[in-house]
Chains A and B, each alone.
Chain A
Amino acid sequence: MNQRARIGRRAIGGAVLVVVPAVFIAVFFGYPIATVLWRGLGGGGGETFFDLAESSRQRDIVWFTLWQAVASTALTLVVGLPAASIVARLPPRRQRLVRALVTVPFVLPTVLVAGAFTEVFAVTGLDEGALRLRHTVWAILIAHVFFNYAVVVRTVGAFWSGLDHRMEEAARSLGATAWAAFREVTLPRLRPAIASAAAIVFLFSFTSFGVVLILGGPRRATLETEIYRQAVTRTDLETAAALAVVQLVAVLALVVVSTRLERRRPIVGRGARLSRRAASPVWRWVNLGIGFVLLGGPIGVLVERSFSTGDGYGFDHYRALAERAPQLPAPATTALANSIVFAVTATAMAVLVGLLASLVVVHGRRGLARVFDLGLTLPLGTSAVTIGFGMLIALDESPLDLRTSWWIIPIAHALVGVPFVVRTMVPVLRAIDPALHEAAGVLGASPARARREIDLPIGLRGLVVGAGFAFAVSLGEFGATSFLPRRPENLTAPVALFRLLSTPGDLLRGQAMALAVVLMVLVAAAVLVIESARGSDEGVF
């Protein structure tokens, strides 16, 4: 093939890499968000911001959002770091199992979790009297720890187990206790991983919705719940848009910080495995206990409730899932099937877009890579209300009028899945030794060819992990889905769950629990696939 044609092919290939993800995010995320902001702020101009700044309630809300996120992050680190240290020492197969287990809570729908926690507080008597946890900030914090435990354990744990531990051993032999060795030697080296995990946990806590709404009770409001309140209950789109801007700015800052921290992570080296001796049994059991109670408590309650029928225990609620409950337009099993189909579609889209975007982030020119890195992670922290409403307003003309089409739901799910794919693939691709590319080049491969032959097989594992997350997240997605118009036959499992929880009657309650457990099992299966696909471990997730 002549030179010009080959260069032409390369240019086209490069263009495809950039264009596909750019168009996807611009059309389905950028355009809707911009429309909401424009519609909301265009009328009032800057005045809305002044009103916001003056309103003490809004200031309080911003402040509360901030400090509960900080507190959640701190608490998650305190609880999660010891667990990470223990997990890092486990033999590989057990490590994978534990990592899979702690990841299940991460992808559970918040509706489910908030309900489970309410249950736990009631069962343990923590909702009355002096030890009242109901509707307190503590309830919110604990639930945030529940969700984000996995982030710390996975990120920091993986990084930790990959470190060369002879330095710690040297420190121990020089007279440092285990704690002193950790403090003096390990902690400085762990800093990048801890910072990365903290940024993610902060992001999720900052934008948390269901947990704050249900567990925080009517007294607590964060930016996210306030956006919902203004947009839905008061139809005050201007205020909602102004709040959305504030939130977006904060999230943008967070994402910038987090991606920058990601880049500083050193490539993991080989070395001695962690000493098996280091953890004292008491330490190990206490931490395992905490993890078990924290994560297993709410889940255990759900499982117990799903089997408890009026006269003892049985599978009745599960069997009832195949019949249509009066509150649902279709049987719960149909909803589950729908969710799976949506999840598969959404995952396929997220994988395609995310893969191309990752390649741009890793191999593209610096400016472009940066924009892509940020732009494709933003949907993770954007209010579901804003996305849902934005899509409605923006996508109202052909050929983009997908508002009532089946496709809008997997697209919305894919929007949330793409950041996961990108954040998993980018570190994996970055860790590929450039010497490999050089060797391939010398052997006659063009850069694109080298990428295909080297990056793709290596990146494939990262891709499977990202896809697994996208799948799990789609299964449990509730926020955006509930804001988008949907035909009844396209009912998803989380929405069905919410419906079942909204009517009195033990039967429906039991069915809701059963549906929740089935959903959880599906999610867990996805997570196990993720884990078995990982070899050793880079990446935030």
Chain B
Amino acid sequence: MPEAEARKKLLLCLLTLGLLAAACGDDDSSGGGELEASAPVDISGTTVTLMTHDSFYVSDSVFEAFTAETGATVELLQVGDAGTMVSEAILTKDAPLADVLFGIDNTFLQRGLDADLFDAYASSNLSGVFPELVLDDQNRVTPIDFGDVCINYWIDALPEGAEPPMSLEDLTDPVFADEVVVQSPESSSPGLAFLLATINGTDDWEQYWADLVANGVSVTAGWEDAYYGEFTAGGGDRSIVVSYASSPPAEVIFADPPVEVAPTGVLLDSCFRQIEFAGILAGTDNRAGAEALIDFMLTPTYQEDVPLNMFVFPALEAAALPSEFVEFASVAEDPQIIAPADIEANRDTWVERWVEIVLG
């Protein structure tokens, strides 16, 4: 019967329109790149998923404190290393795996920003962070911690009579011939950081690397085979390696048998600052929870737990450092820094040039 059919069709249209309206209505509130005032929202009972890399660890008590405070639980998702994590976040951005991404650092930052991975958020705790760490003025990401990639040297293994190297240029000195091992920027994050340090810290970085090659520098694919393969720490015969500013305290903490003094020293002139950021993934359905988590990650509770677990330095100025860090770690006052946009724009060219000079 035509009349009944027509009415059915009308009903369907109305229903559809209604659903569409509801759906469109929802979109507005999930935020698309706007700054939101962090109004206290009740997130108790919800889950906030934090996506990070395999090197992430904080003590259980830290996230328990978060739950005690907000009632929300934190669920962790770990994926490979920082590069893998960023790649996968970009790949899945239409159906994000988590609410917050942590672990994107300044060398990958621009890539994440260009891919519109994040929704901006200015945490109220941002004011307590070292100002030079805030690299994105749109606050799409928040700095959480930083670590410096620096030249480490094994004090007692340096060549007879040689003074510890004090500048990048010193590494090309013949007294350190065949003493240096670095990682390839193609396959290693510290390797890339050191390359960037030399680009920023020398007048002619291409010549510098040519000199290093002439001085017998060795190159490995990853940090492990440099540090534990060729460097003194693993029984190798090179006394100078690219590692982290936090490596000397780590050597003390994990020494077997225990030691009083750090066996390694750091060449501060060579340090490249790596800052790790957290950001709210665009398309998350727990915006309030994500914001609360980022706020929490800038509190002393979280920040002071980080050094001994991940061997990086807290971004919060007021956070206290553990004693081993105070005693054995040095933070470069004037580290090498390159703007993320510059890094992203030139990385491929720089790395290719490096390959030609060093491996060619």
Contact = CB atoms under 8 A, between A and B. Distances in A.
Chains A, B in direct contact (C-beta < 8 Å): yes
Interface of A: 114-115, 118-119, 122-123, 127-128, 134-135, 213-214, 216-219, 225, 229, 231-235, 237, 309-311, 316, 326-329, 389, 392-393, 396-397, 401, 403-404, 482-488, 495, 498-499, 501-510
Contact of B94 (A123, A396, A403, A404): A396
Instruction: State the 5 A-B residue pairs at the shortest beta-carbon distance, nearest first.
Output: A505-B254, A310-B257, A218-B184, A310-B256, A396-B95
Q: How large is the interface on B (under 10, 10 to 19, 20 to 34, 35 or more residues)?
A: 35 or more
Contact of B228 (A128, A225, A232, A509): A509
Contacts of A114: 225
Nearest to B77: A485
B229 A503 contact: no
A501 B228 contact: yes
Nearest to B96: A396
Interface in B195-247: 219-225, 227-230, 233-237, 243, 247
A509 B90 CA distance: 34
A505 B187 contact: no
Interface stretch (B15-23, B32-40, B80-88): B80-88
Nearest to B246: A504
B94 A229 contact: no
B257 A504 contact: no
B76 A488 contact: yes
B253 interface: yes
Nearest to B352: A57
Interface stretch (B50-58, B135-143, B286-294, B331-339): B50-58
A219 B218 CA distance: 11
A382 to B, nearest CB: 18
Contacts of B224: 115, 214, 501-502
Contacts of A316: 256
A233 B187 contact: yes
Nearest to A490: B78
Contact of A214 (B77, B83, B225, B253): B225
Contacts of A506: 254-256
B222 A122 contact: no
B94 A235 contact: no
A389 B97 contact: no
Contacts of A123: 235
A218 B221 contact: yes
Given A135-B220, A233-B187, A504-B247, A487 B76 contact: yes
Contacts of B223: 502
A396 to B, nearest CB: 4
B243 A328 contact: no
Given A213-B187, A499-B55, A485 B308 contact: no
Contacts of B4: none
B347 to A, nearest CB: 9
B83 A396 contact: no
A216 B97 contact: no
A219 B359 contact: yes
B115 to A, nearest CB: 8
B87 A118 contact: no
Given A122-B234, A217-B219, A506-B254, A485 B78 contact: yes
A218 B226 CA distance: 11
B359 A326 contact: no
Contacts of B92: 392-393, 396, 403
B300 to A, nearest CB: 20
Nearest to B231: A504
A16 B125 CA distance: 59
B311 interface: yes
Given A229-B186, A502-B224, 19 more contacts: A118-B229, A127-B229, A216-B221, A233-B83, A235-B90, A396-B94, A401-B95, A403-B97, A404-B49, A482-B79, A483-B84, A485-B88, A486-B78, A498-B54, A499-B54, A501-B228, A503-B250, A505-B251, A505-B253
B87 A231 contact: yes
A508 B253 CA distance: 10
Contact of B78 (A217, A393, A487): A487
Given A128-B237, A504-B233, A218 B187 contact: yes
Given A218-B220, A499-B55, A503-B311, A482 B80 contact: yes
Contacts of B57: 326-329, 488
B75 interface: yes
A277 to B, nearest CB: 47
B230 to A, nearest CB: 8
Interface in B164-195: 183-184, 186-187
Nearest to B90: A235
B91 A393 contact: yes
B260 to A, nearest CB: 14
A487 B77 contact: yes
A216 B221 CA distance: 8
A110 to B, nearest CB: 13
Given A218-B219, A485-B97, A234 B225 contact: no
Given A122-B235, A213-B222, A396-B95, A485 B253 contact: no
